[in-house]
């Protein structure tokens, strides 16, 4: 009796959730959305998808070449602007340009997608500048862009969508990337609560492993080797050259196992922008949903044991009995 009742209630809950999530906001052709990092990857695909659905897309690219290619592949509904999220001057100029474009309608959507992952290496191998290089793009750039455009988003009672990662829940490797994504989660959570009285909704996107330009194994391994070459001899001896080779091989293997279906990520990004009832968090990718997110709730001893399986053993780090 109680089992049947529980099944019915669960079914009704899922049906109601399915119905709510299928509802979209009206007037898409009148809404402006700014997306950062549109040269390639998720940002590029999302810009093209939203433009095809009739939205007015403001695509921020880092390079002139990326902007020209995107304009050539879309209609006049999409406009491009050059933006370096590490430059306060560039952000201010972009904010002024957006203000002119949207006018009294405000900015319906801000998608903070721009990011970088290089250099990635064991923490001991890196300098403070290595961490700052990544944090400037993934965190401080995201924050400054958001603060510059938040009045326009508030005016439209719109959406802020921040690109995080599943490693924002469960750090997987050294360097600034995982740190930046943990911080993006914290910034987004506080912003969501602060903006709720204004009708602004804030969502976090947490993809798993996907093949994008940012995860190009050639660039990642090149940066990894560059870090290795500048290390003091004592640290190189402690880890050993086999550690470098194994770490590079693992990077290539991870890229091969990553999904090439970027629409799994852009689909949830579009839902966060266009659904009447967006979620506060979206996980994208089977690895994120069924492995890494559940693992993030496990005890530290278990996550450490599983994570250690994918790390090489340093030359002077092999445990020995006394």
Question: Is residue 247 annotated as a catalytic residue, yes or no?
Answer: no
Residues 170 and 211 sit within 8 Å (Cβ to Cβ): no
* Exposure of 307 in the CB half-sphere (CA atoms within 13 A): 16
Neighbour tally for 273: CB within 10 Å: 28
Provide CB contacts within 8 A for 113, sequence distance 6+.
35, 36, 37, 38, 41, 42, 43, 46, 163, 269
Instruction: Report the candidate in 49, 48, 189, 62 with the shortest Cα–Cα distance to residue 115.
Output: 62
H runs (alpha helix) in the chain: 2-21, 41-52, 64-72, 88-102, 128-135, 142-156, 176-195, 217-229, 233-239, 241-257, 263-274, 286-287, 293-296, 300-308
Give me the residues paired with residue 206 across strands: 283
- Rounded to whole angstroms, what are the CA distances from 288 to 109, 240, 283? 25, 32, 6
Catalytic residue among 173, 177, 243, 282: 177
Cβ within 8 Å of residue 207, ≥6 positions away: 42, 163, 165, 166, 264, 265, 283, 284, 285, 288
In whole angstroms, give the CA distance from residue 12 to residue 18. Answer: 10
DSSP of 99-116, one letter per residue? HHHHGGG--SEEEE----
Which SS3 state, helix, strand or coil, does residue 268 take? helix
Q: 136: which residues sit within 8 A by CB, 6+ positions away?
A: 85, 86
Which residues have a catalytic role annotated? 177
């Amino acid at each position: 009796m109680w089992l049947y009742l529980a099944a019915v209630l669960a079914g009704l809950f899922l049906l109601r959730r399915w119905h709510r999530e299928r509802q979209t906001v009206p007037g898409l052709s009148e809404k402006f959305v700014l997306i950062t990092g549109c040269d390639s990857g998720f940002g590029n695909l999302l810009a093209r998808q939203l433009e095809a659905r009739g939205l007015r897309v403001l695509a921020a690219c880092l390079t002139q070449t990326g902007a020209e290619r995107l304009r050539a592949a879309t209609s006049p509904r999409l406009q491009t602007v050059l933006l370096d999220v590490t430059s306060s001057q560039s952000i201010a100029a972009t904010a002024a340009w957006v203000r002119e474009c949207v006018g009294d309608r405000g900015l319906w959507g801000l998608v903070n997608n721009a990011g970088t992952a290089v250099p990635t290496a064991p923490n001991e191998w890196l300098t403070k500048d290595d961490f700052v290089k990544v944090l400037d793009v993934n965190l401080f750039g995201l924050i400054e862009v958001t603060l510059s455009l938040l009045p326009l988003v508030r005016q439209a009672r719109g959406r802020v969508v921040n690109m995080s990662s599943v490693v924002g829940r469960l750090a997987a490797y050294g360097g600034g990337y995982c740190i930046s994504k943990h911080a993006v989660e914290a910034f987004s959570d506080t912003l969501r609560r602060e903006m709720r009285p204004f009708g602004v909704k804030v969502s976090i996107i947490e993809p798993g492993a996907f093949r994008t330009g940012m995860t190009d194994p050639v660039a990642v391994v090149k940066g990894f080797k560059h870090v290795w070459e500048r290390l003091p001899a004592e640290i190189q001896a402690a880890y050993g050259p086999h550690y470098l080779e194994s770490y590079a091989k693992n990077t290539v293997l991870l890229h091969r196992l990553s999904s090439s279906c970027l629409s799994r990520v852009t689909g949830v990004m579009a839902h966060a922008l266009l659904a009447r009832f967006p979620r506060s968090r979206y996980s994208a990718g089977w690895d994120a949903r069924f492995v890494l997110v559940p693992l993030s709730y496990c005890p530290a001893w278990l996550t450490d044991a599983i994570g250690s399986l994918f790390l090489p053993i340093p030359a002077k780090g092999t445990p020995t009995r006394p």
